[in-house]
Amino acid sequence: MKRSFTVLVFIIGGKMAFGQQKDLRYYFAQAPFTMPEVTEPIFPSKMFYIKDYGAVNDGETLNTTAFTKAIDACSEAGGGTVLVPAGTWLTGPFKMKSNVNLHTEKNTLVLFTPDRNQYPIVRTSKESSNFIVQSPISGNNLQNIAITGEGVFDGSGESWRPVKKSKLTHEQWGKLLASGGVLSPDGKTWWPSEEAMNGDAYLKSLKDKKNLTEKDFLPARDFLRPRMIVFTNCNNVLLDGPTFRNSPMYVFYPNHCTNLTIRNVTVHNEYWAQNGDGIDISACKGVVIYKTIVSAGDDGICMKSSGGKEPDGFELENVLIAGCIVYQSHGGFVIGSNTDGGMRNIFVSDCDFIGSDIGIRVKSNAGRGGVVKDIYMQNINMQNIINAAVSFDTYYENLQLGVTVDTSGRARNKIPDFRDFHFSNINCEGAKSAIYINGLPEMPVHRIFFENMNITANTGATLNAAADLEFKNVKIIPKKGPVYTLSNSRNIHIANGFLPPDTDKFLVTKENVSDVIVSGTKLRDKSKNIELGKGGDKNSVIVGD
């Protein structure tokens, strides 16, 4: 009874703590679209202790069977809480079941075994011909599941991931080589095994074979490293409190889930973790990510969408992200690269991105693109961004290390359509470039609205293949070069802009630029501050009061 009371106090106390600041009700009310209620799972009061199912917390005994038995017993009894007390619990992969809350107490470490032989090859579904390595934690077609508490889940990712020499110090590289594994022929990449290094070539050898089974994929297991937590087609999912770290690949990958809440969670992968994304939300509906901290070897908090099965064409929609911090990552908040399932209604507010490669990153390409619209970013603070503070890239290629793809003949279908993005109250102190937009000739990035922004960067805003953009009260201070550089763009309105004292060029146009209006901006000398490039005439840029 005492342990049961502790769990209830944690959950109730957590909700009380949120009410002292901006709580979720505030953000739901502030959302610029109708954000449906995101329901959370409710569990019976029954408790199931993993020690009662043979678990041993010595850090050496493999507890896979104990975790599985406890979860199965909880679900079969109608649901409740599976309690993992303080200690170190070594385990292989296990599956969640409906109506189960997996709760870890403080000072608990759930350590997934580095023994790759413990991770079976599985089909993605009964009808599928796709095979993957079973994730440390997984669940499919479940209702009411949760992982809560203050424990730590460690995926032993170092036993799976390749590592690039360029990402480590000399001392770190020496220690890695001494740990075993193999080097690529060029000496630039460390792999945990020969099978991992040669995995892509082996998988290509299976391409034309039929009636493949799990056994056929075993030689590629080390290459097919798993995502740490994968929930597919689940409803009412809650992550509240734990730390998830050191994943073989992505840390958390919910796919086609509804009513998903992530709060008070810490996600960490080392910056050298190849394809080590933090949180990747894939084709989900009704998502809340709140008061969560992420550092990752790849994208931090990322939205993905594939499939195109929904009648309205939007596989991902109604997402609220608030009060989060993303540190090292390829992008703080990211959309893409697969967007062909469509996305809409995403609201990001009161978040900090610190030390990310890119602050706000939107990426896709022909062949993986779709409509992404009605995206709202407000009250965002960024610091020490390595590349662009805001980036739209429609020529992005995302390849796992060791994989090569010939894209020269890629069909121009599934075109990225990025439109109706709204940025307001954005501050960035330090970036390589302020804003980077690179659209497709047949589908410019369009209807993007920037308002009340302050960005200091090495270079200003570079826009290529952009249309119908509005900048209002946007203050960009580049260390060198023009504030704005435009090419292949049209209908750009810059209102109440800012020309820094040490900058001569406010706007430079290159080829194919038309219908640019600059208003409410104090230019010192129009002839010097506005430079018209190839094909530009005096009417392509209009400067007003």
pLDDT in tens, 350-401: 999 999 999 999 999 998 999 999 999 999 999 999 999 999 999 986 544 4
pLDDT at 69 over 70: yes
pLDDT of residue 312: 74
pLDDT of residue 412: 58
Residue 128 — very low, low, confident or very high, per pLDDT cuts 50/70/90?
Answer: low
Report the alpha-carbon distance of residue 87 to residue 106 in Å, rounded. 9
Average pLDDT for residues 92-98, to the nearest whole number? 98
pLDDT at 491 over 50: yes
pLDDT above 90 coverage of the chain, percent: 86
Query: 139: which 2 tokens?
Result: 């669940």
Average pLDDT for residues 313-329, to the nearest whole number? 97
Residue 523 φ/ψ region, left for φ over 0, alpha for ψ in the -120 to 50 degree band, beta for the rest:
beta
Q: What is the pLDDT of residues 97-123, one digit of tens each?
A: 999 999 999 999 999 999 999 999 999
Where helices occur in 153-198 by DSSP H, the ranges are: 170-178, 194-197
Least confident of 264-268, 304-308, 326-330: 304-308
User: Which secondary structure element, helix H or strand E, spans residue 191, and what is its range?
Assistant: strand 189-191
Where helices occur in 213-269 by DSSP H, the ranges are: 214-217
Residue 18 — very low, low, confident or very high, per pLDDT cuts 50/70/90?
Answer: very low
Query: 503: which 2 tokens?
Result: 């900058």
Average pLDDT for residues 137-155, to the nearest whole number? 98
pLDDT of residue 21: 67
Decide which of 544 and 460 is more confident: 460
Query: 64: which 2 tokens?
Result: 């896979």
pLDDT of residue 543: 93
pLDDT of residue 403: 43
Residue 266 φ/ψ region, left for φ over 0, alpha for ψ in the -120 to 50 degree band, beta for the rest:
beta
Residue found by looking up tokens 């040490």 in the block = 502
Nearest to 94, CA basis, from 129, 114, 123, 119: 119
Report the alpha-carbon distance of residue 391 to residue 388 in Å, rounded. 6
Residue 407 — very low, low, confident or very high, per pLDDT cuts 50/70/90?
Answer: very low
**Mean confidence (pLDDT) of the chain:** 92
pLDDT of residue 309: 64
Q: What is the pLDDT of residues 179-198, one digit of tens each?
A: 999 999 999 999 999 999 99
Residue 531 — very low, low, confident or very high, per pLDDT cuts 50/70/90?
Answer: very high
Average pLDDT for residues 2-13, to the nearest whole number? 31
How many of the other CB atoms lie within 10 Å of CB of 524? 11
Average pLDDT for residues 259-269, to the nearest whole number? 98
